[in-house]
């Protein structure tokens, strides 16, 4: 699967964005300049048309085109371009000398209405033109002259059109050049932006590469500490790096627990096998009496039974952890199960000079849960208490019922148990400071099993150090 690239995304994203911005900005600039220049041309055409219209004077003898006078003063008055007068009554045309006998297209609108058109000049060049329909100019002096000549003429009877044109190809060329400059500028800006982005991306991503190489190196040294986050790592990636380190630490803690489990499992399984093998080897090593042989075979059987117990516990733990253990809900008397186990442990308690203080109420309301799993919980905790309590001390076993929960506990002197061992003791194969025995029922799986069972029954198993001397294991199950 192709992975997204930050660098490519930055390049593509900024490329599109910068290109768009540059295109729009350049287009806006170009349009603004083009409008201004074309407006300027129009203004000049309009100005020229007005001045030329004024130069068509009505006299007693008719229309007099004094454009040359106007032209002579055009440096100050702004007549530019080609122009041509047309007398609409006679059709007579009077063009500027630059027309060289050619004519401009005749077009116009209403009186004094300016009409612009793009035209093609006789030499084929593109041009813009204005057509202005007007009446000849008549001032007081002309009117007096007409009166003196006894011939009064009305300007409205002499409709005139002046068409002024200005070639625009040079303007178009300048605009085309400007478009080229703007495009080149935009392209250069885009390239420069991309170069900066590539550099910034590389600069910003370099700490990631550094972190990656640290992590790769770290992956070959499993026991070493999780690598520090490089100081140069961008702050935006700190959270990711922290989360990665946390995940790595958790994974390694889990792996470490797995290794510890495998290490202990190997010990707890291989050692009894070694015991069985050595017992049988010793049995056949030399001729022995049948009684001696029977004793040795019986000892090997005890070891085999112990291994079976350990394997059963391991299998149950595996089923519990794998979610394969089925929980049934039946109604049973929890007090009876607790009492039975206290009786079952009386002999062992007596052997260790322990006093069992039974604080379990004589009767308790029935509990609806898995009676089998509940029994395993009770057996594990009471046997643990009787096994680990220092000799000559008291083991308290109690139970309490509330409308919402049922709980039972064992409390005894903690001996060498330390608060810092709290979590470790719930790991499989933790036996504290007690040596392995041949029965295999105490391979150090009891607390792990009990915790898994408590969780499965939606309850909890807690280990409490309520004072300086005692340790309490309490199971609370929901009602």
Partner 1 sequence: MRCLIVEDYAPLRGNIEECLREEGFAVDASATGDEGLWYARNHPYDVILLDIMLPNVDGLTILKKLREIQDKTPVMILSARDTVEHRVEGLNAGADDYLVKPFALSELVARVRALLRRSYSHESAVLRIGDMTIDCASKTVSRSGENIPLTRREYSLLEYLAYRAGQAVSRTDIWEHVYEDHSGGSSNAVDVYIGYLRKKLNAGGRADLIHTRRGYGYTLAVEGS
Binding partner 1 (rule: CB under 8 A), the pick from 31, 92, 117, 263 is 263
Q: Which helix (H) or strand (E) holds 134?
A: strand 126-134
**DSSP code at position 421:** G
Binding mask 287-306 for partner 1 (x = CB under 8 A): ------------x--xx---
Using the minimum distance from each CB to partner 1, give the nearer residue, 398 or 432: 432
| Strands (DSSP E) found in 339-464 | 355-359, 367-369, 394-401, 405-413, 460-464
Binding partner 1 (rule: CB under 8 A), the pick from 48, 128, 279, 313 is 279
Binding partner 1 (rule: CB under 8 A), the pick from 95, 275, 441, 459 is 275
Binding partner 1 (rule: CB under 8 A), the pick from 21, 37, 205, 269 is 269
Which among 54-62, 161-169, 276-284, 393-401 is the span making contact with partner 1, rule CB under 8 A?
A: 276-284
Longest dimension (CA), the chain: 174
Binding partner 1 (rule: CB under 8 A), the pick from 273, 324, 343, 350 is 273
* Number of residues engaging partner 1 in binding (CB under 8 A): 31
The b/e string for 166-201 (b: 16+ C-beta within 10 A; e otherwise) is bbbeebeeebeebeeebeeebeebbeebeeebeeeb
Q: Tell the smallest beta-carbon distance from residue 430 to partner 1 (Å).
A: 11
Please report whether residue 272 would count as binding partner 1 according to CB under 8 A.
Answer: yes
Q: Tell the smallest beta-carbon distance from residue 456 to partner 1 (Å).
A: 29
CA angle 259, 265, 270 (to 5 degrees): 125
Q: Tell the smallest beta-carbon distance from residue 329 to partner 1 (Å).
A: 40
Kindly report the number of other CB atoms within 10 A of residue 277's CB atom: 12
What distance in Å separates the CA atoms of residue 398 and residue 457, rounded to the nearest whole number? 19
Location of structure tokens 């340790």: 471
Closest CA to 103 of 78, 126, 120, 89: 120
Using the minimum distance from each CB to partner 1, give the nearer residue, 278 or 326: 278
Using the minimum distance from each CB to partner 1, give the nearer residue, 192 or 301: 301
User: Measured in Å, how far apart are the chain's first and last C-alpha atoms?
Assistant: 51
Using the minimum distance from each CB to partner 1, give the nearer residue, 169 or 281: 281
Using the minimum distance from each CB to partner 1, give the nearer residue, 373 or 443: 443
The sign of the CA dihedral 143, 146, 147, 151 is negative
Q: Tell the smallest beta-carbon distance from residue 230 to partner 1 (Å).
A: 31
Whether 57 contacts 155, CB under 8 Å: no
Closest CA to 155 of 84, 54, 46, 52: 54
Q: Tell the smallest beta-carbon distance from residue 424 to partner 1 (Å).
A: 14
Binding partner 1 (rule: CB under 8 A), the pick from 102, 169, 258, 281 is 281
Which among 43-51, 274-282, 311-319, 375-383 is the span making contact with partner 1, rule CB under 8 A?
A: 274-282
Binding partner 1 (rule: CB under 8 A), the pick from 61, 254, 277, 405 is 277
Interface positions, 428-447, toward partner 1 (CB under 8 A): 431-438
- Please state whether beta strands 93-95 and 114-120 pair in parallel, antiparallel, or not at all (unpaired): unpaired
The residues binding partner 1 (CB under 8 A) are 263-264, 266-279, 281-282, 285-286, 299, 302-303, 431-438
């Amino acid at each position: 699967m192709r992975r997204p690239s930050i660098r490519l995304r930055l390049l593509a994203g900024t490329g599109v964005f910068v290109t768009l911005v540059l295109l729009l900005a350049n287009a806006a600039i170009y349009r603004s300049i083009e409008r201004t220049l074309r407006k300027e041309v129009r203004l000049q055409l309009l100005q020229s048309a007005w001045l030329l219209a004024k130069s068509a004077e009505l006299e007693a003898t008719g229309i007099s085109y004094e454009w040359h006078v106007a032209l002579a003063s055009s440096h100050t008055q702004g007549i530019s371009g080609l122009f041509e007068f047309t007398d609409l009554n006679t059709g007579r045309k009077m063009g500027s000398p630059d027309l060289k006998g050619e004519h401009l297209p005749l077009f116009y609108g209403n009186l004094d209405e300016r009409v612009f058109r793009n035209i093609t000049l006789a030499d084929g060049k593109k041009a813009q033109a204005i057509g202005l329909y007007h009446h000849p100019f008549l001032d007081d002096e002309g009117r007096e002259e007409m009166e003196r000549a006894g011939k009064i003429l009305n300007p409205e009877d002499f409709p005139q059109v002046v068409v002024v044109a200005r070639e625009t190809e040079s303007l178009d060329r300048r605009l085309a050049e400007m478009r080229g400059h703007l495009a080149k500028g935009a392209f250069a800006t885009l390239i420069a932006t991309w170069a900066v982005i590539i550099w910034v991306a590389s600069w910003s991503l370099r700490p990631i590469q550094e972190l990656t190489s640290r992590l790769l190196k770290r992956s070959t040294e499993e026991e070493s500490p999780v690598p520090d986050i490089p100081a140069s790592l961008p702050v935006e990636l700190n959270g990711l790096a922290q989360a990665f380190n946390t995940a790595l630490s958790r994974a390694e803690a889990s792996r470490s627990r797995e290794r510890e489990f495998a290490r202990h499992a190997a010990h707890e399984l291989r050692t009894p096998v070694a015991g069985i093998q050595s017992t049988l080897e010793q049995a056949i090593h030399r001729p022995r009496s049948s009684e001696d042989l029977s004793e040795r075979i019986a000892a090997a059987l005890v070891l085999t039974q112990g291994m079976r117990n350990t394997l059963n516990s391991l299998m149950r733990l595996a089923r519990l952890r794998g979610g394969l253990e089925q929980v049934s809900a039946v109604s049973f008397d929890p007090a009876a199960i607790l009492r039975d186990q206290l009786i079952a442990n009386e002999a062992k308690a007596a052997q260790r000079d322990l006093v069992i203080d039974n604080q379990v109420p004589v009767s308790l309301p029935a509990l609806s849960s898995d009676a089998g799993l509940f029994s395993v919980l009770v057996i594990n905790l009471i046997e643990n208490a009787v096994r680990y309590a220092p000799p000559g001390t008291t083991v308290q076993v109690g139970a309490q019922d509330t409308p919402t929960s049922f709980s039972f506990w064992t409390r005894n002197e903690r001996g060498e148990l330390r608060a810092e061992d709290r979590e470790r003791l719930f790991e499989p194969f933790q036996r504290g400071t007690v040596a392995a025995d041949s029965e295999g029922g105490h391979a150090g799986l009891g607390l792990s099993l009990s915790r898994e069972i408590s969780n499965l029954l939606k309850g909890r198993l807690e280990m409490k150090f309520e004072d300086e001397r005692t340790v309490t294991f309490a199971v609370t199950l929901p009602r």
